[in-house]
Amino acid sequence: MKQILSCLHPNPGWGDEDVEEISSSSHLGGKHCILELYECDEYKLNDEAFVRTTITTAAKVAGATLLNLVTHRFEPQGVTGLALLAESHISIHTWPENGYAAVDVFTCGNHTMPEKACQVLYTELAARRFSLQRLRRETPETLSSALRKPNPLETS
């Protein structure tokens, strides 16, 4: 599979010949990027505040709505971050001692661009190499036709 991080495309990477097409009878549930970052800046990978800021920027650039962000710095090193998005999530796990970060970006909706989030993470963490897998998540037809309503707020 050709490894690219597309720039400035309204729907980067989707529709390329290296992405398996979903039949016309199926429904696109989301776009899922699995990103491996190698030879990153070890200090950035170990800086919890930097990782938080970078995830926040990545979500914004992807056109996603950040609902919550949880991070944790491990001793002696490493950071894990999970961004809850209205459209799904971004997660990152870092190993500064190896210059490595494992990233997962899953978004639903036609307005989101998960590869742009990947580009931000690749650039900001100063990775020298990466591996990117792009998947289309299919929504079963029975779910795609169902009407989803939020639960009413309970008052006491």
Q: Which two tokens stand for residue 63?
A: 């056109």
Question: Is the pLDDT score of 121 beyond 60?
Answer: yes
Question: Is the pLDDT score of 24 beyond 90?
Answer: no
Looking at per-residue pLDDT, the higher value among 99 and 22 belongs to: 99
pLDDT score recorded for residue 12: 44
CA 10 vs CA 13, 141, 145: distances in Å = 9, 26, 26
Placement of tokens 């931000």 in the chain: 120
What kind and span of H or E run contains 134?
strand 129-139
Crossing angle of the two packed helices 114-124 and 48-61, in degrees rounded to 10 = 150
Residues of the chain above pLDDT 70, percent: 71
Q: Tell me which DSSP letter residue 121 carries.
A: H
- What Rg value do the Cα atoms of the chain yield, rounded? 17
Question: Is the pLDDT score of 149 beyond 70?
Answer: no
pLDDT score recorded for residue 142: 63
Q: What is the pTM of this model?
A: 0.74
pLDDT, tens digit, 9 for 90 and up, residues 36-58? 999 999 999 999 999 999 999 99
Active site residues: 88, 93, 108
Q: Which two tokens stand for residue 78?
A: 């490493």
Helix (H, G, I), strand (E, B) or coil at 32: strand
Is residue 28 within 8 Å of 139, Cβ to Cβ? yes
Between 4-13, 49-58, 138-147, the lowest mean confidence (pLDDT) is in: 4-13
Looking at per-residue pLDDT, the higher value among 140 and 8 belongs to: 140
Looking at per-residue pLDDT, the higher value among 71 and 4 belongs to: 71
The CATH class given to the 28-138 domain equals alpha beta
